[in-house]
Structure 1
Amino acid sequence: MAVHRVEVAVQGPWSLATSRAFWEGFTPSALPERTGEALEATFLVEGEWRRASVSVTQHGATAVLSLSGAGDLDRAATQVCRFLSLDVDGRAWPDVGLRDPVIGLAQSSLPGLRPCGFYSPYEAAAWSVLAQRIRMSQAAALKASLLRDGVFIPPAELRGADLDLPGRKAEYLRAVAEAALDGVLDGPRLRALKPAAAVLEVQQVKGLGPFAAELVVLRGANAPDAVPHNEARLSDEVAERYGRPLAEVSEEWRPYRTWASVHLRVLRERRLAGVPAGAQAEAVPG
C-alpha cells in the first residue's frame, strides 16, 4: 500500500520523545511502549470511520507523518496533528512558564511536551462511558473488548452491537455512536466552538455529564485553552501549590490553559509517586 508523506512545521517547542512517553503512559490510549524513535498509531479517520496508520518522526522543528490506509489520508493527517497537538501555535507557551514558576518547573522537567489526546472526540466519549464508576484497569479491559483489528469499533457497528456491559453503559455507548454519526462529536467542529459552548453541546449526549463532556472537548478535540472545572485532582493540586482557586490561577496560563492543566497533573502524579520535581522521567503518566 502506498505511503502518503506529510511534513508539518511545528511552531514552538516540541519533543516527539517526551510527547510519545506521555502518550504511552496515557491509559485510555493503551499505546504499547515501542522501540525506535517513531510514534506509531492506527486509528479510525473521523467522518468516514476507516482505518489509517501513521508513523511520526521528528526532524528539528518538522514533524514527518507517514500515513497509509484506504481512506482520505489528508484528513487523517489533519486528525493526527490535532490529537498530537501539532496544530497549535506554541511559540508563546514558554512565556507562561516565565509568568508562573510552577508551570515553568513542569516545562523544564517535561521539555517539549505537547499534550496528546484521544484519536477523536468519539473515542473520548466512549471511554468516558466505559470508565464511569469503575477502576481504570477495568475500563481499559472493557475498551479492549471493543477493539476490532486493533482499532476501536466504528460508530455504525457500535450502534447495532449486542453489548454485554454493566449498568447503562450499552445504552450510553449507543447514544455516543449516534452522536458521532450525526456529527455532534466531530473534532474540527468542536474545536471551532468556544470550549464552554462545546462542552454544553456534548452534554446533550445521553450519558455524558459535565466531567465527561470536558474530557471530550479538552482531550478528545484537544482544545488547547480551556480550564477543566470538574477535575478534582487538578483543583487539589492547584490548592496544594498555589493556595488559590483554579479559576484565578489559570488566568496566567492563557492561551494554553489546557496545556498547563495537563502539565500540572503530570507534576502531581510525579509528586505522589515520589519523583523529584526537577527530574525528567523516562515515561510520563497520563
Structure 2
Amino acid sequence: MAHHRVEVLVQGPWSLATSRAFWEGFTPSALPQREGEALRSAFLVEGEWRRASVSVTQRGATAVLELAGAGDLDLAAAQVCRFLSLDVDGRAWPDVGARDPVIAEAQAALPGLRPCGFFSPYEAAAWSVLSQRVRMSQAAAVKAALVRDHGGVFPAPAVLRSLDLDLPGRKPEYLRAVADAALDGLLDAVTLRSMKPAAAVLAVQQVKGLGPFAAELVVLRGANEPDAVPHNETRLTDEVSERYGRPLAEVSEAWRPFRTWAAVHLRVLRERRIGGAMAAAGR
C-alpha cells in the first residue's frame, strides 16, 4: 500500500473544525469544536473504484492530506479536495454576506464552513435510491450495512450491480442502473462539474430511477458544485420564505457564485434550530 502527503493552500475562509462538524451531521455531540483533530475517512477513488483512506488536518490556510491506498493517490487527493470543497476559490465568499445580511448571519454562526459532499456522484446517486420513500434512518441502516460488509467503504459499482439486495419496489433495478451509469462514466464528478449545473442535472436524470430531486443531489452534493440553486428542497424554500418573504430564485441571485454554499448554510442553521427546539420540547 502506497502513502502520499499533499499540502493544499485553501483560498478563502476555511475551518476544518466547522467543516468536520458538518461532516458529522451537526449532532449535538459534534458541536463543540475540537481544534487540531483530523478528519479521517475511507472512500472509493472514482474511476478506479479502489479503496483509499485520508487524514485531513489544518495548518493555517493549508490543508494537509495524508493518503494511503493501492491506487492513484493524486487522483484520490483531488477527489478529497472536491468532496470537502477545498478546490473552490472562496475569497469572494465574504462578499455574499456583505450583500445579504441573512447570509452574513449564517457565515458568522458557521465560521469557515465549506460544504462537505458525498465521496462521489455515484454514492450520492445510490443514496438517493436507497432513501426514496423510506425514513432516513432506514436508508442509513441499509447503507451502513453495505459499507460494513465491504471493508468500510460503499461497494464499487461492479460489486453493487452483482448484489442480490432485498429491497422494496424497483430499488434493486435502480441501483443496478446507477452502477451501470457509474461504470459508463455518466456520473463522473469532473465531467459534471465542467457542465452548467442545469445541464448536469438534466444529464443525471437520464439514469433510470433518478428524478429531479435525486439529480440535484448528485450534482450539488455528489459533484459538490458550488454555485447552483436547489429547486426541489422544500425545507430550503420554507427557510427562504420565512427569512426573506421572497422567492428562492429571486433571493439567490445575490448569492452568486456561491449559491450552493449559501443554501447549505441556511439548511444547516434551520436543522440546528429545529433540532434544538425539538430537544427542548423533550422529543
The answer on 1:55 being equivalent to 2:29 is: no
Question: Secondary structure of the residue that 2:186 maps to in structure 1?
Answer: coil
Which ranges in structure 2 are unaligned for 5 or more consecutive residues? 28-32, 278-283
Question: Secondary structure of the residue that 1:37 maps to in structure 2?
Answer: coil
Aligned to 1:123: 123
Per-residue CA shift, 1:52-83, capped at 9, x if unaligned?
00000000000000000000000000000000
Per-residue deviation at 1:132? 0.3
- Paired with 1:84 and 1:26, the residues of 2 have a C-alpha distance of 16
Per-residue deviation at 1:11? 0.2
- Paired with 1:220 and 1:26, the residues of 2 have a C-alpha distance of 19
Q: Which amino acid aligns with 2:6?
A: V
Per-residue deviation at 1:133? 0.5
Aligned to 1:102: 102
Question: Secondary structure of the residue that 1:151 maps to in structure 2?
Answer: coil
Q: Which amino acid aligns with 1:141?
A: A
- Paired with 1:187 and 1:88, the residues of 2 have a C-alpha distance of 14
Runs of 4+ in structure 1 over 4 Å off? 33-36
The change in CA–CA distance for 1:113 and 1:168 in structure 2 (over 3 A counts) is same
In the alignment, which of 149, 172, 175 is matched to residue 174 of structure 2?
A: 172
Aligned to 1:202: 204
Q: Which amino acid aligns with 2:71?
A: G
The answer on 1:231 being equivalent to 2:238 is: no
Query: What aligned pairs does 1:184-195 form with structure 2 within 5 A after superposition?
Result: 184-195=186-197
Aligned to 2:224: 222
- After superposing the two structures, state which structure 1 stretch, 192-201 or 142-151, moved more: 142-151
Per-residue CA shift, 1:119-174, capped at 9, x if unaligned?
00000000000000001100001112222111000000111111111111100000
- Paired with 1:35 and 1:227, the residues of 2 have a C-alpha distance of 32
Question: Secondary structure of the residue that 2:241 maps to in structure 1?
Answer: helix
- Paired with 1:218 and 1:122, the residues of 2 have a C-alpha distance of 13
Aligned to 1:153: 155
Aligned to 1:271: 273
Where relative contact order (Cα < 8 A, 6+ residues apart) is larger, the structure is 1
Q: Which amino acid aligns with 2:230?
A: P
Per-residue CA shift, 1:176-199, capped at 9, x if unaligned?
000000000001000000000000
- Paired with 1:270 and 1:232, the residues of 2 have a C-alpha distance of 16
Aligned to 2:30: none
The change in CA–CA distance for 1:228 and 1:274 in structure 2 (over 3 A counts) is same
- Paired with 2:172 and 2:80, the residues of 1 have a C-alpha distance of 28
Aligned to 1:87: 87
- Paired with 1:97 and 1:34, the residues of 2 have a C-alpha distance of 26
Percent identical among aligned pairs is 82
- Paired with 1:224 and 1:5, the residues of 2 have a C-alpha distance of 26
- Paired with 1:45 and 1:88, the residues of 2 have a C-alpha distance of 20
Q: Which amino acid aligns with 1:190?
A: L
The change in CA–CA distance for 1:132 and 1:111 in structure 2 (over 3 A counts) is same
Q: Which amino acid aligns with 2:141?
A: A
Question: Secondary structure of the residue that 1:40 maps to in structure 2?
Answer: strand
Aligned to 1:283: none
The change in CA–CA distance for 1:168 and 1:200 in structure 2 (over 3 A counts) is same
Which ranges in structure 1 are unaligned for 5 or more consecutive residues? 28-32, 276-286
Q: Which amino acid aligns with 1:22?
A: F
The change in CA–CA distance for 1:11 and 1:269 in structure 2 (over 3 A counts) is same
Q: Which amino acid aligns with 1:268?
A: R
Per-residue deviation at 1:36? 6.0
Q: Which amino acid aligns with 1:217?
A: V
Per-residue deviation at 1:35? 9.8
The change in CA–CA distance for 1:26 and 1:111 in structure 2 (over 3 A counts) is closer
Aligned to 1:73: 73
Aligned to 1:249: 251
Aligned to 2:7: 7
TM superposition score normalised by structure 1: 0.92
Question: Secondary structure of the residue that 2:23 maps to in structure 1?
Answer: helix
Per-residue deviation at 1:270? 2.1
Cα root mean square deviation, aligned: 1.6
TM superposition score normalised by structure 2: 0.93
